[in-house]
Amino acid sequence: MHFYDVAVEAPLFKTFTYSSELPVSPGQRVSVSFGKRSADGIVLKELSAPEDTTKIKSISSVHEDYPLQSTARLKWLRWISEYYVHPMGLVLQLCYPSLKKGGRPTKKAAIKMSEKLSQSVQLTEEQQKASDSILNLPEFHAHLLYGITGSGKTEVYLDVLEKKIEEGKKGLVLVPEISLTPQLIRRFSERFGDQIAVLHSQLTDREKTNQWWSIVEGDKKILIGARSALFCPIPNLGVIVVDEEHEASFKQEEKLKYHARDCAIMLAKELGIPICLGSATPSLESWKNASEGKYHLHRLTKRVTTENVANIHVIDMRENKKDEDSELPSWMSDYLYQKINETLMEKKQVALFLNRRGLSQIVMCRGCGHTYMCPNCDISLSLHAKTHLTCHYCAFHEDLGDYCKICKVGETKPVGIGTEKVETDIQTLFPNTRTLRMDRDEVNDRITLEDSIRKIENSEIDIIIGTQMIAKGLDFKNLTLVGILLADIGFNIPDFRTGERSFQLLTQVSGRAGRHSQGDVVIQTYNPTFSSLVFAQNKNYEAFAEYELTHRKELFYPPYGKLMSVRIQSLNYTKLKDYIALLEKAVSQYALGSSFQVLGPAPSPIFKIKNKYRYGMLVKAASSKQIREFYLRIQEKLPPPHGVQVLPDIDPLNTF
């Protein structure tokens, strides 16, 4: 009889012992009986026979068709479980597709591959050096490919992947979900034909399952996917690419709160393969590593196609007072108006960008001042289509009447600007233009997104109005003017990453203009001297990084210190308050005289979301080990009562 340590797909940190008459390899997926049910799990290692074997159940079945998780991958999965304090069994769930192998998709294949055109370009000297370095250094090395949009980073990835495939290896390319556009897939499939598998959240379970098997069983050579593609056990992996490595969407914000870039680096390390991170605005974490020589830094200093980089004009909106009879809405400067006119005359396209949908129109009563709020969340409702109020957190919605629902006599009035208001104003100002709104209300699935992209490419659209959605990765030949309507949104968020986020966003949005011919960017702001804005205007990432890193160092924020945020929440307010009181005491005891700092627990800025009351706690220390120990100690000494959840987030991207 053999005995095995098995990680069962259940929310538990413990592993369990099972027996088997026939030997089973570590890394093998198996079924076991678990309590009253049957569950899947992975064999971690063989154990010597325990003293008492009477209670040990045997493995019910072995899933021979699934590939083994290699020793290196098992080690990596354990690291994830420990580092992010998440049960191993739940980490394992991410490693397999949800359906059984072999079914056919119900609808036509959602992933269209183009013919292999195989026109590899002659790399520039800078590109060649980067590619050679990635290919020639043996074993694990991390590379940071830093260059503005259009500087040829993707060509370097393609070259490296091509060489790895020639060696019989496979490649993994991680991109932010939103960048996984048909444009990007086309670019890869033009080089590699149908050797590509794609994984993203908008595929059906059947499609995902089929894509997963196509790379695992070997017919496909490259997997392009959003963050979760990382967990696909690609055999014979030779290189990992993480494009737009600074993107916040690589961090999963729920359940297992992992950062796909950081996990990818650990995976490359365990597998002993190169990893290439690419960005025009690298995260400060990566930049610091590169500056200290931990990563190899490769600079691509020029745009390959045109020498043009958009001109950036910053408009101080404080000086944009309008005459009484001005027909321009308050959010539009004379300068931007004039630029839009010129661009339309030249039959080119305009994109107007409004930072995040959250800033939309809210509704107030002119009589009593009542603001329409969500009953489930501490947040104002947003106005859509003139009469429809919705909550962006819980999707609560109600109709808006002409008169206030509290005082019954005051007239209701929208306040603020949102993408909808901008679109309406634009249609009034430019009656014969074709507008397209791209935000999460309008474009909420892949088909609509792809359809919108096609319309823009075919010049069926003159003015695009959008949120973050239009900031990322899109590349349109005819788009020559980008207007950032209110750059200030986001400058004031009380988070230490605000400066970095603002810089990245402004740089990215600016990068949308004039990729193929001369372009202009108009940034409207009330804070023209805000540091991130000035650095973005001067297109000086390196100076920005130096400035920002100095600040971070002083305050011991990442990448210098390590952070964990903990959310403590409950539907039951009394229970929560009682627990928080105990927690406060415990925290002050444990943190006493130690080398870390604990802020809170304190009520979260949005105190209630989906009827759950929320507290937050921020822990800062020199190492993530210290932080985990602190957390585990609290968990052990003060386990939360039933109905109160304590959710840790290691290396949080949002700290407020």
| Residue 519 near ligand ADP by CB under 6 A | no
Q: Which stretch binds ligand ADP (CB under 6 A): 46-54, 80-88, 146-154, 313-321?
A: 146-154
Number of residues that bind Zn ion (CB under 5 A): 7
| Residue 607 near Zn ion by CB under 5 A | no
Number of residues that bind ligand ADP (CB under 6 A): 15
Residues 104-123, interacting with ligand ADP (CB under 6 A): 121-123
Using only C-alpha atoms, the chain has a radius of gyration, in whole angstroms, of 27
Count of C-beta atoms within a 10 Å radius of residue 647: 14
Given 3-state DSSP classes, what are the helix, strand and coil percentages for the chain, each rounded to the nearest 5? Answer: 30, 25, 45
CB of 438: closest distance to ligand ADP in angstroms? 20
Q: Which does 376 bind (CB under 5 to 8 A by kind): ligand ADP, Zn ion, none?
A: Zn ion
CB of 379: closest distance to Zn ion in angstroms? 6
Binding ligand ADP (rule: CB under 6 A), the pick from 124, 433, 517, 540 is 124
| Residue 504 near ligand ADP by CB under 6 A | no
Count of C-beta atoms within a 10 Å radius of residue 62: 16
| Residue 374 near Zn ion by CB under 5 A | yes
| Residue 155 near ligand ADP by CB under 6 A | yes
Reference 250, options 271, 264, 267, 268; nearest CA is 264
CB 480 within 8 A of CB 343: yes
| Residue 305 near ligand ADP by CB under 6 A | yes
Binding ligand ADP (rule: CB under 6 A), the pick from 20, 127, 210, 504 is 127
Which CB atom, from 606 or from 632, has the smaller least distance to Zn ion?
Answer: 606
Count of C-beta atoms within a 10 Å radius of residue 160: 24
Q: Which stretch binds ligand ADP (CB under 6 A): 148-156, 486-494, 558-566, 572-580?
A: 148-156
Count of C-beta atoms within a 10 Å radius of residue 478: 18
Reference 319, options 531, 525, 491, 489; nearest CA is 525
Q: Which residue has the tokens 């009656």?
A: 431
Longest dimension (CA), the chain: 91
- How far is it, in rounded angstroms, from Cα 290 to Cα 566? 30
Reference 7, options 53, 32, 50, 44; nearest CA is 44
Which CB atom, from 83 or from 146, has the smaller least distance to ligand ADP?
Answer: 146
CB of 605: closest distance to Zn ion in angstroms? 15
- How far is it, in rounded angstroms, from Cα 25 to Cα 69? 10
Which CB atom, from 378 or from 475, has the smaller least distance to Zn ion?
Answer: 378
Binding Zn ion (rule: CB under 5 A), the pick from 377, 417, 461, 627 is 377
Backbone angles phi, psi at 269, to 5 degrees: -60, -50
Q: Which does 651 bind (CB under 5 to 8 A by kind): Zn ion, ligand ADP, none?
A: none
- How far is it, in rounded angstroms, from Cα 80 to Cα 428? 53
Which CB atom, from 232 or from 310, has the smaller least distance to ligand ADP?
Answer: 310
Reference 576, options 543, 601, 599; nearest CA is 601
Site string for Zn ion, 330-369 (x = CB under 5 A): ----------------------------------------
Which CB atom, from 155 or from 649, has the smaller least distance to ligand ADP?
Answer: 155
- How far is it, in rounded angstroms, from Cα 43 to Cα 58? 12
Q: Which residue has the tokens 């001369």?
A: 518
- How far is it, in rounded angstroms, from Cα 326 to Cα 371? 29
Which CB atom, from 243 or from 649, has the smaller least distance to ligand ADP?
Answer: 243
Contacts of 293 (CB under 8 A, 6+ apart): none
Distance of CA 317 to the CA centre of its chain: 31
| Residue 153 near ligand ADP by CB under 6 A | yes
| Residue 514 near ligand ADP by CB under 6 A | no
CB of 512: closest distance to ligand ADP in angstroms? 12
Q: Which stretch binds Zn ion (CB under 5 A): 228-236, 331-339, 376-384, 421-429?
A: 376-384
Q: Which residue has the tokens 């080089």?
A: 191
CB of 374: closest distance to Zn ion in angstroms? 3
| Residue 149 near ligand ADP by CB under 6 A | yes
| Residue 179 near Zn ion by CB under 5 A | no
Which CB atom, from 263 or from 374, has the smaller least distance to Zn ion?
Answer: 374
Q: Which stretch binds ligand ADP (CB under 6 A): 153-161, 252-260, 373-381, 409-417?
A: 153-161
Beta strands in 21-97 (DSSP E): 29-34, 37-47, 61-62
Which CB atom, from 153 or from 339, has the smaller least distance to ligand ADP?
Answer: 153
In the chain, the amino acid numbered 215 is I
Q: Which does 136 bind (CB under 5 to 8 A by kind): Zn ion, ligand ADP, none?
A: none
Q: Which does 391 bind (CB under 5 to 8 A by kind): ligand ADP, Zn ion, none?
A: Zn ion
CB of 515: closest distance to ligand ADP in angstroms? 8
Which CB atom, from 95 or from 374, has the smaller least distance to Zn ion?
Answer: 374
Which CB atom, from 95 or from 134, has the smaller least distance to ligand ADP?
Answer: 134
Which CB atom, from 396 or from 560, has the smaller least distance to Zn ion?
Answer: 396
403: DSSP letter = B
| Residue 314 near Zn ion by CB under 5 A | no
Which CB atom, from 154 or from 527, has the smaller least distance to ligand ADP?
Answer: 154
Q: Which does 374 bind (CB under 5 to 8 A by kind): ligand ADP, Zn ion, none?
A: Zn ion
- How far is it, in rounded angstroms, from Cα 500 to Cα 140? 29
What does each C-alpha distance from 338 to 311, 342, 561 come to in angstroms? 15, 6, 47
Which CB atom, from 151 or from 343, has the smaller least distance to ligand ADP?
Answer: 151
Q: Which stretch binds ligand ADP (CB under 6 A): 42-50, 149-157, 248-256, 574-582?
A: 149-157
Beta strands in 526-654 (DSSP E): 562-570, 597-609, 612-621, 644-650
CB of 152: closest distance to ligand ADP in angstroms? 3
| Residue 147 near ligand ADP by CB under 6 A | yes
Contacts of 324 (CB under 8 A, 6+ apart): none
Site string for Zn ion, 383-412 (x = CB under 5 A): --------x-xx-x----------------
CB of 183: closest distance to ligand ADP in angstroms? 10
Contacts of 518 (CB under 8 A, 6+ apart): 308, 310, 311, 480
- For the record, the structure tokens of 600 come out as 């809170």
238: DSSP letter = E
Contacts of 458 (CB under 8 A, 6+ apart): none
- How far is it, in rounded angstroms, from Cα 327 to Cα 324? 9
- How far is it, in rounded angstroms, from Cα 579 to Cα 582? 5
Distance of CA 444 to the CA centre of its chain: 16
| Residue 277 near ligand ADP by CB under 6 A | no
CB of 148: closest distance to ligand ADP in angstroms? 7
Give the binding site for Zn ion (CB under 5 A).
Answer: 374, 376-377, 391, 393-394, 396
Give the binding site for ligand ADP (CB under 6 A).
Answer: 121-124, 127, 147, 149-155, 304-305
